[in-house]
C-alpha cells in the first residue's frame, strides 16, 4: 500500500527566514491578498511569527476584525521589497486572476508566491502569469489557518528551490508541510466539503434535523465537529466554491452540489447563523 | 419506563442488548429459536458480568441481580409481558417480516416492536403487521455495550407516541438518541461515506498516499483517526458491505459507489487490524 511519490524532493533543514527576536530590528515584510477571513487569519499568524504584513482584502466586510497595527498594514499597493506573497482567494476566480497578474507585474521575478489552490489548480493559475515558476499552490480555507499543518502543491513548472522557499515560509509560521499533487480540492478541503454536501442532501431529504445530524456524527462516528458545524466554521460560500470546482474539474455526478447547499450559499444562510431557517421543521 | 423488554435473537447484537438492559434494571426475556445459541449467549453474558465484577465495576449483588433479570425463552408467546420487543435476527427481509407478523399476533396491542436492522427498510418490515404505527428501528452504532448512539428510525407509519416511548427507552439504557427517517444508511452510515469514499478517490488518483491523508485529516480536521486508520479499525470488509448496501438501496447512486480498491483488498483478505494487514500492517495492536 505504499505509493511512490511522483516528485522526489529532499528535506532540507534550512533556517526559516525569521528576523531576530531581540530588540526587533527589521521584520521581514510579506504581502497577503485575497478573501477576507483567510487574509485576516494569516495576517495574525504571520505578524505573531516575526513578519511585517502588508495586506489587502478582496472585499472587506462591514465590520473588520482588529489586526495588530504594529506589525501589519493595509495596503492596496504591493511594496516591491517584500520577501514572500500569499494569494488567498477561493471564491471569485476572476478577482484571483487579477490579484495574481498584479503580483506578477509588481514583484521581482525571484519573489515566490504561494496561492490557495483549492478551487483552481496551481498549474492552471500559473498559466495566468508570466513568471510561472514562482507559483506554488497551498490549501487555504477559513478556520484552518491556525492548524499545525498545511498542504502544498507544486505545479509542473515549480523548481525544487521554489518549493523549499514555500516550505520554509510555512514552517516559520509553525506549520508542518504535506506535499500533495496539484488537484482541485487537495485533500482536506475535498473530503470535508463532500461530507458537508452529503449532509446537505440528507437535510433536503428531511432525514433528520441539522442538530441531530451533528449529534449523530459526533457521538456515533466520533467526529470532532458535525458537518453542519463544519460548514459554519468554514463558511458556506467557500464550501460551495470548492464543490463547484470539484464538479467542474472531475465532471462526475458524485460531485453534484446539493441544491439546498447552493441555495443557502448564495442567500448567505445556514443553520447556526442569524438568518437560520427554523431548525425543527423536520421533526413534525 | 420500560420494565420488561423482549429480545428476539440471541446472537451478538441480541445478547448485547439483553445484557445492557439487564444492567439498566430492566427485566429481559431473551428469545432464540435455537436453544443451544440461547444457552451460549447466557454463558457469554455471565462471563461478561463476572469480568465487570472482577474489575469492580459491579458489586456481587448487582451482578447476581442483573443476571437474575435475564429470562431465556424459546417460544415467542412467552414475550407477551414485554412493553418493547427488540428484534435482532439475521438481516433478511422475509424472515423479519415473518417474525413481526408473529410477534404482533402473540403480544399485547400496546407492545412496541423494534428492529435493529442497519440495512433494511423499517417501513417494509412493518408492512407485515396490522399496526405499523407501533413498529420502528433501533440502530445501535457498533455493539450495544460500546455504542454511545442509537438511531431511532421512524418508518412511514410509525406514530409519534411510539417514537416518544423509544426515546424514553434509550434514555433508560443511558444512550444518546437521534431520530431519523427510514432512509438508506440512516444518518451515520450514510454521512461517513464521503470520509472514506473521497479519501479512497484521493489515494486512487495518487494525489497523496494513505499515510499523508491520515496525517492531514488528523492535524487539520482534528479527527482522532484518519480515514484509512478508521477503515482498518472498523474492518475493510465491513466498510465495503455498508457502502455496497447503501448503493444497492439507492439503485446505484454514484456517490455511494464502492471504490475498486476496497473490493481488491477484501478479495485479498486485507481486512484491517483483525487480519493483521489493511492499509497499514499490524503487529499485535501496533501499526
- B135 has a pLDDT exceeding 50: yes
Measure Cα distances from B12 to B89, B116, B122, B142 in Å: 10, 12, 21, 11
Site of grid cell 440471541: B10
Residues of chain A found within 8 Å of residue B212, distances taken between Cβ atoms: 178, 180, 187
Q: What tens digit of pLDDT does each residue of B175-194 get?
A: 999 999 999 999 999 999 99
The CA distance from B23 to the nearest CA of chain A, in Å, is 22
Round the CA-based radius of gyration of chain B to a whole number and report it.
20
Whether residues A144 and A224 fall in one domain: no
Cα–Cα distance, A16 to B188 (Å, whole number): 44
Report the chain A residue with the minimal C-alpha distance to residue B217: A188
* CATH number of the domain residue A223 falls in: 1.10.1040.50
Cβ distance A220 to B212 less than 8 Å, yes or no, reads: no
C-alpha neighbours within 13 Å on the C-beta side of residue B120 = 24
Interface test with B, best of A179, A186, A216 (most B CBs within 10 A): A216
pLDDT of B92 > 80? The answer is yes
Q: Say if residues B287 and B281 touch (Cβ distance below 8 Å).
A: yes
C-alpha cell at B169: 427507552
Number of C-beta neighbours around residue A24 at 10 A: 11
Nearest chain A alpha carbon to B211? A2
> Across the strands, what pairs with A135?
A113
Query: Would you call A181 and B208 a contact, using CB atoms and an 8 Å cutoff?
Result: yes
Q: Domain ends where: A154, A179, A204?
A: A179
Among the partner residues B209, B220, B255, nearest to A149 by beta-carbon distance:
B220
CA distance B162 to B126: 13
- Nearest-CA distance B72 → chain A (Å): 31
Strand positions, DSSP E, B134-228: 135-140, 149-154, 176-181
A202: helix, strand or coil = helix
Q: How many distinct helices (H) and strands (E) make up chain A?
A: 9, 8
pTM over 0.95: no
A130, part of any domain: yes
Of A149, A179, A209, the position where a domain reaches its end is A179
In a domain, A175, yes or no: yes
Domain co-membership, A62 together with A157: yes
Residues A152 and A230 in one domain: no
Pair (A171, A149) in one structural domain:
yes
Nearest neighbour of A190 by CB, restricted to B179, B202, B215? B202
Q: Which long-range contacts (CB under 8 A, 24 or more apart) does A11-16 make?
A: A12/A164, A14/A164, A14/A168, A15/A168, A16/A168, A16/A169, A16/A171, A16/A172
Instruction: Identify the residue with better confidence: A270 or A115.
Output: A115
Option in B207, B221, B280 nearest A183 (CB)? B207
Q: Do B180 and A212 touch (CB under 8 A)?
A: yes
Distance, CA of B194 to CA of B237 (rounded, Å): 17
**pLDDT tens sequence across A10-55:** 444 444 555 545 556 689 999 999 999 999 999 999 999 999 999 9
| A253 contacts in chain B (CB < 8 Å) | 254-255
The predicted-structure confidence for A197-222, as pLDDT tens digits, reads as follows 999 999 999 999 999 999 999 999 99
CB-based contact A134:A112 (threshold 8 Å): yes
CB proximity list for B57: less than 8 A, separation 6 or greater: none
ipTM metric: 0.94
A11 found inside a domain: no
3-state SS, residue A75 = coil
For residue A214, what pLDDT is reported? 95
* Tens of pLDDT, residues A137-188: 999 999 998 899 999 999 999 999 999 999 999 999 999 999 999 999 999 9
Cβ pair B247, B194 in contact under 8 A? no
Percentage of chain B beyond pLDDT 70 is 100
- SS3 for A202-245, per residue? HHHCCCCCHHHHHHHHHHHCCCCCCHHHHHHHHCHHHHHHHHHH
Which residues in chain A are closer than 8 Å to B219, comparing Cβ atoms?
A: 147-149, 176
> Is A271 among the domain residues?
yes
d(CA B74, CA B230): 39
- State which H helix or E strand residue A237 sits in: helix A236-250
* Partner residues linked to A74 by β-bridges: A55
Q: Is residue A136 part of a domain?
A: yes
pLDDT in tens, B37-84: 999 999 999 999 999 898 988 898 999 999 999 999 999 999 999 999
Q: Looking at beta carbons, which residues of chain B come within 8 Å of A1?
A: 210, 279-280
Q: Do A196 and A222 belong together in one domain?
A: yes
What would the pLDDT profile of B219-253 be if each residue is shown by its tens digit? 999 999 999 999 999 999 999 999 999 999 999 99
Mean pLDDT, range B150-154, rounded to an integer: 98
Domains of chain B: 4-181 (3.40.50.720), 192-273 (1.10.1040.50)
Domain boundary residue, one of A128, A152, A179: A179
Grade residue B136 by pLDDT with cuts at 50, 70 and 90: very high
Cross-chain Cβ contact B176/A219 below 8 Å: yes
- Which residues in A lie closer than 8 A to residue B207 (C-beta atoms)? 180-181, 183, 186-187
CATH number at residue A140: 3.40.50.720
End-to-end CA distance of chain B: 45
Instruction: Report d(CA B261, CA B10) in Å as an integer.
Output: 35
Share of chain A above pLDDT 70, in %: 87
pLDDT at B196: 98
Output the pLDDT for position A280: 40
Considering only CB atoms, B179 lies closest to which of A150, A192, A208, namely A208
Q: Which of B180, B197, B217 sits opposite A207 (nearest CB)?
A: B180
Residues from chain A that touch B147, judged by Cβ atoms under 8 A, are: 220
- Tell me the shortest Cα–Cα distance from A230 to chain B, in angstroms: 9
Q: Do B219 and A227 touch (CB under 8 A)?
A: no
Residue A194 lies in a domain: yes
Size of interface A-B (CB pairs under 8 A): 146
Residues A171 and A258 in one domain: no
Residues A129, A221: one domain? no
Structural domain including A136 reads 28-179
pLDDT-based confidence at residue B145 (cuts at 50, 70, 90): confident
Q: What is the rounded distance in angstroms from the CA atom of residue B273 to the CA atom of residue A114?
A: 39
Burial track A35-46 (b if 16+ CB lie within 10 A, e otherwise): bbbbbbbbbbbb
Contact indicator for A182, A30 with CB cutoff of 8 Å: no
Retrieve residue B253's grid coordinates: 447512486
Inter-chain CB proximity A178 and B212 less than 8 Å: yes
Beta strand residue intervals within B167-266, DSSP E? 176-181
CA distance A183 to chain B (A): 7
Assigned domain for A8 exists: no
pLDDT of residue A6: 47
* The predicted structure's pLDDT at residue A272: 62
- pLDDT, one tens digit per residue, over A223-271 is 999 999 999 999 999 999 999 999 999 999 999 999 999 999 998 877 7
Q: In this structure, are A192 and A139 located in the same domain?
A: no
pLDDT number for residue B58: 87
CA B257 – CA A155 distance, rounded (Å): 31
More confident residue, B239 or A64: B239
Q: Please, what sign has the CA dihedral across residues A182, A151, A163, A110?
A: positive
Residues 6+ apart with CB under 8 A from A95: A58, A89
- In a shared domain, residues A88 and A214: no
Shortest Cα–Cα distance, B179 to chain A (Å): 7
Cell readout for B242 is 455498508
CB < 8 Å to B192, chain A? 217, 221
- Cα–Cα distance, B104 to B6 (Å, whole number): 13
Q: How many residues belong to chain A?
A: 284
3-state helix, strand, coil in chain A (%, to 5): 40, 15, 45
Task: Determine, for residues A220 and B213 on separate chains, whether the beta-carbon distance falls below 8 Å.
Answer: no
Which of B142, B160, B178, B218 is most worth mutating to test chain A (most A CB atoms within 10 A of its CB)?
A: B178
Are A112 and A208 members of one domain?
Answer: no
Strand, helix or coil at A194? helix
Looking at the structure, do residues A226 and A248 belong to the same domain, yes or no?
yes
Residues A160 and A100 in one domain: yes
* Nearest CA-CA distance, residue B112 and chain A, Å: 20
Taking residues A81-97, report their average pLDDT: 97
pLDDT for B65 equals 94
Q: Are A271 and A232 in contact (CB under 8 A)?
A: yes
What's the number of domains chain A is made of?
Answer: 2
Q: Which pLDDT band, with edges at 50, 70 and 90, does B93 fall under?
A: very high
Question: What does the DSSP assignment read for A88-144?
Answer: E-SS-HHHHHHHHHHHHHHS-TT-EEEEE-SSS-HHHHHTTSS-GGGEEEE---TT-
Judged against a pLDDT cut of 70, whether residue B254 lies above it is answered with yes
Residue A5 domain-assigned (yes or no): no
Q: Are B32 and B14 in contact (CB under 8 A)?
A: yes
Chain A interface test: which of B148, B163, B191, B206 (most A C-beta within 10 Å): B191
CB pair distance less than 8 Å for B206 and A6: yes
Contact B190 A148 (CB under 8 A): no
> Burial level of B56, CB count in 10 A (0-12/13-18/19+)?
exposed
CA angle B129, B135, B137 (to 5 degrees): 135
Amino acid at each position: 500500500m505504499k505509493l511512490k511519490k511522483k516528485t522526489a524532493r529532499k528535506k532540507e533543514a534550512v533556517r526559516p527566514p525569521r528576523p531576530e527576536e531581540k530588540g526587533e530590528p527589521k521584520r521581514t515584510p510579506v504581502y497577503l491578498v485575497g478573501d477576507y477571513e483567510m487574509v485576516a487569519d494569516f495576517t495574525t499568524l504571520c505578524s505573531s511569527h516575526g513578519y511585517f504584513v502588508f495586506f489587502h482584502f478582496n472585499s472587506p466586510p462591514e465590520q473588520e476584525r482588529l489586526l495588530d497595527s504594529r506589525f501589519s498594514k493595509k495596503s492596496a499597493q504591493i511594496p516591491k521589497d517584500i520577501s514572500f506573497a500569499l494569494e488567498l482567494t477561493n471564491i471569485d476566480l476572476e478577482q484571483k486572476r487579477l490579484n495574481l497578474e498584479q503580483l506578477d507585474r509588481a514583484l521581482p521575478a525571484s519573489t515566490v508566491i504561494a496561492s490557495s489552490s483549492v478551487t483552481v489548480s496551481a498549474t492552471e493559475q500559473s498559466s495566468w502569469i508570466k513568471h510561472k515558476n514562482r507559483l506554488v499552490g497551498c490549501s487555504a480555507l477559513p478556520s484552518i489557518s491556525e492548524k499545525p499543518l498545511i498542504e502544498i502543491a507544486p505545479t509542473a513548472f515549480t523548481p525544487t528551490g521554489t518549493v523549499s522557499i514555500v516550505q520554509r515560509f510555512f514552517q516559520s509560521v509553525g506549520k508542518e508541510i504535506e506535499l500533495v499533487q496539484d488537484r482541485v480540492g487537495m485533500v482536506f478541503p475535498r473530503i470535508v466539503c463532500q461530507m458537508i454536501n452529503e449532509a446537505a442532501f440528507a437535510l433536503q431529504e428531511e432525514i433528520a434535523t441539522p442538530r441531530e445530524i451533528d449529534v449523530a456524527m459526533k457521538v456515533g462516528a466520533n467526529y470532532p465537529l458535525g458537518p453542519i458545524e463544519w460548514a459554519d466554521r468554514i463558511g458556506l460560500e467557500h464550501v460551495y466554491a470548492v464543490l463547484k470546482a470539484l464538479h467542474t474539474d472531475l465532471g462526475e455526478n458524485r460531485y453534484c452540489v446539493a441544491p439546498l447547499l447552493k441555495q443557502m450559499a448564495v442567500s448567505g444562510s445556514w443553520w447556526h447563523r442569524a438568518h437560520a431557517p427554523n431548525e425543527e421543521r423536520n421533526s413534525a | 419506563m420500560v420494565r420488561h423488554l423482549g429480545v428476539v435473537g440471541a446472537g451478538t447484537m441480541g445478547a448485547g442488548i439483553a445484557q445492557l438492559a439487564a444492567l439498566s434494571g430492566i427485566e429481559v426475556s431473551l428469545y432464540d429459536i435455537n436453544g443451544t445459541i440461547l444457552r451460549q449467549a447466557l454463558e457469554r453474558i455471565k462471563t461478561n458480568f463476572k469480568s465487570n465484577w472482577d474489575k469492580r465495576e459491579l458489586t456481587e449483588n448487582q451482578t447476581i441481580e442483573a443476571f437474575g433479570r435475564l429470562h431465556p425463552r424459546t417460544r415467542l408467546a412467552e414475550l407477551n409481558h414485554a412493553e418493547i420487543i427488540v428484534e435482532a435476527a439475521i438481516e433478511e427481509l422475509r424472515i423479519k417480516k415473518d417474525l413481526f407478523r408473529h410477534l404482533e399476533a402473540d403480544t399485547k396491542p400496546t407492545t412496541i416492536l423494534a428492529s435493529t436492522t442497519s440495512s433494511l427498510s423499517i417501513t417494509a418490515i412493518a408492512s407485515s403487521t396490522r399496526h405499523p404505527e407501533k413498529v420502528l428501528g433501533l440502530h445501535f452504532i457498533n455493539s450495544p455495550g460500546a455504542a454511545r448512539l442509537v438511531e431511532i428510525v421512524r418508518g412511514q407509519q410509525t406514530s409519534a407516541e411510539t417514537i416518544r416511548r423509544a426515546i424514553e427507552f434509550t434514555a433508560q439504557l443511558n444512550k444518546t438518541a437521534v431520530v431519523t427517517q427510514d432512509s438508506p444508511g440512516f444518518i451515520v452510515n450514510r454521512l461517513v461515506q464521503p470520509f472514506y469514499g473521497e479519501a479512497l478517490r484521493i489515494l486512487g488518483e495518487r494525489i497523496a498516499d494513505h499515510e499523508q491523508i491520515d496525517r492531514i485529516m488528523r492535524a487539520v480536521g482534528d479527527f482522532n483517526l484518519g480515514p484509512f486508520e478508521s477503515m482498518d479499525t472498523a474492518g475493510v470488509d465491513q466498510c465495503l458491505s455498508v457502502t455496497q448496501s447503501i448503493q444497492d438501496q439507492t439503485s446505484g447512486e454514484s456517490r455511494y459507489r464502492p471504490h475498486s480498491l476496497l473490493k481488491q483488498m477484501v478479495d485479498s483478505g486485507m481486512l484491517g487490524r483483525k487480519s493483521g494487514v489493511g492499509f497499514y500492517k499490524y503487529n499485535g495492536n501496533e501499526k
